[in-house]
C-alpha cells in the first residue's frame, strides 16, 4: 500500500474553524479539531457516502448527518454495524502544521475486505456484504478468496449445507458468463441467503474425529451405511470428518459418501444435489477435503425423506422394487468407461418408456459396454427435456418438480463422472424413474419450436431480455431461443445473456441450479439438437421465475455508486 504524507493545513486554521476539508487527488479528507486533537477522516460516510464534514461531534463521537451513524473519532469504528467503519488517517502535527498519512485510496486492503464481508454475513447486513464484494472485485482480489471466506464462515458454525452454499458454488460454476456487476449481484444474493440460513439454523456442537484409529475405507463405508440407515447424524458426522482427518482424497471420500447417499432416493434429490455442490467446492475452490464441509452433510444424509416412504414411488407400480432388481445386477455389468452412446437414445428411452423398460434399458446399455457417464448424461438430458416440454397448463408451482428432477439428474451425472462405482450408479435409475414420474407435467407437451432464420442476433437477444422483464413469458422465450439457434448464432452469447438476466433477479437457489445444471450438461453434449433442448429448458424455466423485485441488484448498484465516488444524496 503506497502511503503519502501530506501537509493539509495549519493547526491554527483547523483549531479556529473546528473542521475543514482538504482534497487530495480528487478525494475529500475531513479534518476535525476536538478536545485539543486533530482527526482526519475520509469525508464520505462509509454507509452511503454523505459528507462526514457535516456531521456533529460530541464527547469524542462523530455522528453522520444523514442516517445518524456514529463513529469513534479516534479509530473510525462505528457503533452502528449497518454503517461500517469509517476510514481514518494518521495525523502528525509538526511545527504548527498538520500532516496526514494517506494510503493509496483506490486500493482496499485484503484483511479489511474480508473483515467487512464477515461482519456483513454475521449481522445480515446486505449493503455491507455488497461493499465487500465491490471492493474485492475492483481491488483485484482473487474471487475464490470470497468463496472460501464465506463458505468457511458458514461451515465454522457447523450448520447443514444448504441453498446459500449451493447458490455460491453455482455462481462460481457460471461466473465466466457474468460481467462484474452480474458477479457482484449474484454473489450478493447467494451470500445473503447464506447469512440468513446461518442465523436461522441451530448450530451443532462439533464432534471429535476418530483420531487414533487406522480404520480402513471399506470399514468406514460400512459404518457410514449403518449410521445413515438408522438416521444417526452424530455417527455420520464422525465418519465423514474422520475420512478427511485420515488423509483420504476427495475422490475416495466422494465414492463412499455417494454410495451410501444412493441407498435411497432422498428428499426430492436435494441430498445428492447439495452434496455434489459441496464436493465441487472441495475440488475446485478448496483443493482438499475439509472436515467442516463434510460434517455439514451429516444432517442431510440422516434426515432425508426416503422414496420408500412416498406413495408415488410405490403405487400403482412399485418403482423401488424395480430399482432393487436392476441395481442387483449392477455389480456384474458395471464397469468404468466404455463406448460412447448418443445421449438422445438414452433420453428417448427415459421420456417414452414404462418404468420396467426404462430400468432394464439402462442396465442393457451397460451390458452393451456403453460408457456409464454417457448413460447418466442421457438421463440428465431427459430431465432437461421435461422442462423444455413443460405444459403451460400446469400450476406455476410445478416448475419446481421438474427442476428438482433435472437438477438431481445433473448432480448424479457429475457424481458418476467424479467417482463412478456400481453403487453410485444406482442414482441414475432414481433419476430416470423420477423423470418417468414427472411425465404428467408434459401433458399436453409444449412443442419445441423449430425456429426460423432472418432476425438479427442483437434483436433476438434484446427480445429475450425484454420478455424476461415480463411475467411468465415461458413459451415466447422458447420461440426466440429457437430462432436464435436456427440462425446459427454463437451459443456463448445467448448463455451470457441468460446468465446476466438471472443475475438481475432476486433468484432463489433453484434458479441458480437450473443455470448451473444447464450449462454443465450443455458443455458435455456433442450435438446441436441436444444443446437446443437444454437452452430452451433454461430459458423457459428462467422465464417462469421472472421478473422479481430485483432488490439485490439495487443494493449492488448502491455499493457500486459509492465505490465509484458517485453521490447518493442531493442537497
Min separation Cβ 45 and ligand FES, Å: 3
Helices and strands per DSSP (H, E), number in the chain: 26, 10
Min separation Cβ 53 and ligand FES, Å: 12
Does 83 interact with ligand FES (rule: CB under 6 A)?
A: yes
Does 131 interact with ligand FES (rule: CB under 6 A)?
A: no
Question: Which three three-digit cell numbers place residue 542?
Answer: 428462467
Does 432 interact with ligand FES (rule: CB under 6 A)?
A: no
Span near ligand FES by CB under 6 A; candidates 28-36, 46-54, 231-239, 266-274: 46-54
Span near ligand FES by CB under 6 A; candidates 63-71, 103-111, 232-240, 298-306: 63-71
**Which one, 44 or 422, has the nearer CB to ligand FES?**
44
What stretches of 25-170 adopt beta strand conformation (E)? Answer: 27-34, 37-42, 56-58, 61-63, 70-72, 88-89, 91-94, 97-103
Min separation Cβ 39 and ligand FES, Å: 17
**Which one, 53 or 139, has the nearer CB to ligand FES?**
53
Nearest to 377 by CA among 509, 265, 170, 523: 523
Binders in 340-359 for ligand FES, by CB under 6 A: none
- If DSSP codes are grouped into helix, strand and coil, which group holds residue 179? coil
User: β-pairing, 61-63 with 56-58?
Assistant: antiparallel
Residue 513's contacts (CB-CB under 8 Å, 6 or more residues apart) are 166, 170, 273, 403, 407
**Which one, 83 or 467, has the nearer CB to ligand FES?**
83
Residue 447's contacts (CB-CB under 8 Å, 6 or more residues apart) are 389
Residue 383's contacts (CB-CB under 8 Å, 6 or more residues apart) are 402, 405, 406, 407, 408, 409, 410, 431, 435
CA distances from 388 to 338, 423, 474, 498, 544 (A): 29, 30, 10, 15, 12
**Which one, 404 or 563, has the nearer CB to ligand FES?**
563
Does 128 interact with ligand FES (rule: CB under 6 A)?
A: no
Span near ligand FES by CB under 6 A; candidates 62-70, 168-176, 355-363, 429-437: 62-70
Q: Tell me, by CB under 6 A, how many residues bind ligand FES.
A: 10
**C-beta of residue 11 within 8 angstroms of C-beta of residue 97:** yes
Does 24 interact with ligand FES (rule: CB under 6 A)?
A: no
Torsions phi, psi for 53 (to 5 deg): -60, -20
Min separation Cβ 55 and ligand FES, Å: 8
Does 419 interact with ligand FES (rule: CB under 6 A)?
A: no
Does 143 interact with ligand FES (rule: CB under 6 A)?
A: no
**C-beta of residue 257 within 8 angstroms of C-beta of residue 427:** no
Work out which of 40, 69, 241, 411 binds ligand FES, going by CB under 6 A.
Answer: 69
Work out which of 29, 31, 64, 297 binds ligand FES, going by CB under 6 A.
Answer: 64
Binding residues for ligand FES, rule: CB under 6 A, are 45, 47-48, 50, 64, 66-69, 83
Amino acid at each position: 500500500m503506497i502511503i503519502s504524507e501530506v501537509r493539509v493545513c495549519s493547526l491554527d486554521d483547523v483549531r479556529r474553524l473546528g473542521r475543514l476539508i482538504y482534497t487530495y487527488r480528487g478525494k475529500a479528507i475531513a479534518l476535525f479539531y476536538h478536545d485539543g486533537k486533530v482527526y482526519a477522516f475520509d469525508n464520505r460516510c462509509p454507509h452511503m457516502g454523505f459528507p462526514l464534514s457535516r456531521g456533529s461531534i460530541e464527547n469524542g463521537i462523530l455522528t453522520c448527518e444523514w442516517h445518524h451513524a456514529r463513529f469513534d473519532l479516534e479509530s473510525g469504528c462505528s457503533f452502528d454495524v449497518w454503517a461500517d467503519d469509517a476510514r481514518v488517517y494518521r495525523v502528525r502535527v509538526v511545527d504548527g502544521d498538520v500532516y496526514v498519512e494517506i494510503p493509496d485510496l483506490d486500493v482496499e486492503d485484503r484483511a479489511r475486505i474480508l473483515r467487512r464481508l464477515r461482519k456483513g454475513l454475521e449481522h445480515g447486513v446486505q449493503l455491507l456484504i455488497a461493499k465487500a464484494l465491490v471492493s474485492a472485485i475492483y481491488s483485484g482480489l482473487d474471487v475464490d478468496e470470497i468463496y472460501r471466506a464465506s463458505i468457511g464462515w458458514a461451515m465454522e458454525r457447523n450448520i447443514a449445507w444448504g441453498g446459500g452454499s449451493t447458490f455460491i458454488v453455482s455462481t462460481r460454476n457460471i461466473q465466466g458468463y457474468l460481467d462484474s456487476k452480474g458477479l457482484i449481484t449474484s454473489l450478493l444474493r447467494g451470500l445473503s441467503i447464506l447469512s440468513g440460513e446461518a442465523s436461522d439454523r441451530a448450530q451443532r456442537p462439533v464432534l471429535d474425529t476418530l483420531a487414533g484409529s487406522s480404520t480402513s475405507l471399506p470399514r468406514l463405508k460400512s459404518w457410514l451405511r449403518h449410521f445413515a440407515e438408522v438416521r444417526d447424524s452424530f455417527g455420520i458426522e464422525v465418519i465423514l470428518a474422520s475420512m478427511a482427518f485420515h488423509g483420504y482424497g476427495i475422490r475416495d471420500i466422494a465414492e463412499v459418501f455417494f454410495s451410501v447417499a444412493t441407498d435411497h432416493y432422498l428428499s426430492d434429490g436435494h441430498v445428492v444435489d447439495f452434496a455434489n455442490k459441496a464436493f465441487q467446492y472441495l475440488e475446485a475452490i478448496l483443493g482438499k477435503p475439509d472436515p467442516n464441509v463434510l460434517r455439514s452433510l451429516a444432517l442431510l444424509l440422516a434426515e432425508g425423506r426416503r422414496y420408500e416412504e412416498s406413495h408415488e414411488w410405490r403405487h400403482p407400480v412399485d418403482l423401488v422394487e424395480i430399482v432393487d432388481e436392476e441395481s442387483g445386477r449392477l455389480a456384474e455389468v458395471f464397469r468404468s468407461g466404455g463406448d460412447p452412446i448418443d445421449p438422445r437414445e438414452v433420453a428417448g428411452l427415459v421420456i417414452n418408456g414404462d418404468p420396467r423398460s426404462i430400468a432394464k434399458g439402462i442396465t442393457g446399455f451397460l451390458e452393451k459396454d456403453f460408457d456409464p457417464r454417457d448413460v447418466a448424461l442421457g438421463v440428465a438430458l431427459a430431465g432437461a427435456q421435461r422442462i423444455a416440454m413443460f405444459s403451460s397448463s400446469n400450476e406455476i408451482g410445478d416448475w419446481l418438480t421438474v427442476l428438482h428432477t433435472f437438477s438431481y439428474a445433473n448432480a448424479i451425472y457429475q457424481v458418476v463422472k467424479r467417482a463412478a462405482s456400481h453403487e453410485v450408479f444406482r442414482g441414475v435409475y432414481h433419476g430416470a424413474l423420477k423423470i418417468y414420474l414427472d411425465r404428467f407435467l408434459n401433458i399436453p407437451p409444449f412443442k419445441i419450436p423449430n425456429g426460423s432464420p432472418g432476425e438479427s442476433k442483437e434483436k433476438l437477444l434484446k427480445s429475450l431480455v425484454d420478455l424476461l422483464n415480463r411475467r411468465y413469458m415461458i413459451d415466447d422465450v422458447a420461440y426466440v431461443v429457437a430462432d436464435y439457434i436456427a440462425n446459427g448464432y454463437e451459443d456463448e452469447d445467448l448463455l451470457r445473456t441468460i446468465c446476466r438476466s438471472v443475475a438481475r433477479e432476486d433468484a432463489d437457489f433453484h434458479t441458480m441450479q437450473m443455470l448451473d445444471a444447464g450449462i454443465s450438461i450443455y458443455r458435455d453434449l456433442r450435438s446441436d439438437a441436444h444443446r437446443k433442448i437444454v437452452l430452451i429448458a433454461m430459458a423457459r424455466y428462467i422465464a417462469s421465475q421472472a421478473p422479481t423485485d430485483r432488490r439485490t441488484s439495487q443494493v449492488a448498484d448502491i455499493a457500486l455508486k459509492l465505490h465509484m465516488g458517485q453521490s447518493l444524496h442531493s442537497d
